[in-house]
Homo-oligomer: A and B are copies of this chain.
Amino acid sequence: MANNSIFKALADPTRREVLKLLRSREMTAGELAERFEMTKPSMSHHFALLKEADLISSRRDGQTIWYGLNTTVLQDLVSWAMDLADPNLGNGKKGRRR
């Protein structure tokens, strides 16, 4: 968990914006793409990276592909950051049982 592809995926503003849009609901590739001033192939590339990091899920419905937010990885990120900020409070790993 909290592997490199996640941080790489989050390192781009466009991709973080995509995640933000997917917060409320699933959206199609085209629907997402038209919100950015960028070509569809470029957006498609961003989707691929987000998907590789498992930050989003995808499913095909006919011609369109729906993307959705995967919150599990974000929760891992929260754990990672919290553990870094305060190793004592974070229930990271086993042991260290006070």
Chain B residues closer than 8 Å to A84, beta-carbon distance? 19-20, 23, 69, 71, 74
Residue A7 lies at the interface, judged by CB distance under 8 Å to chain B: yes
Q: Interface residues, chain A, CB within 8 Å of chain B?
A: 4, 7-8, 10-13, 16, 19-20, 23-24, 69, 71, 74-75, 77-78, 81-82, 84-87
Q: Closest 8 CB pairs between A and B?
A: A11-B11, A74-B85, A71-B85, A77-B81, A7-B11, A74-B81, A78-B81, A7-B10
For the residues of A in contact with B, the DSSP-based class is helix
Chain B residues closer than 8 Å to A78, beta-carbon distance? 78, 81-82, 85
Instruction: Give, as a whole number of angstroms, the nearest-CB distance from A59 to chain B.
Output: 20
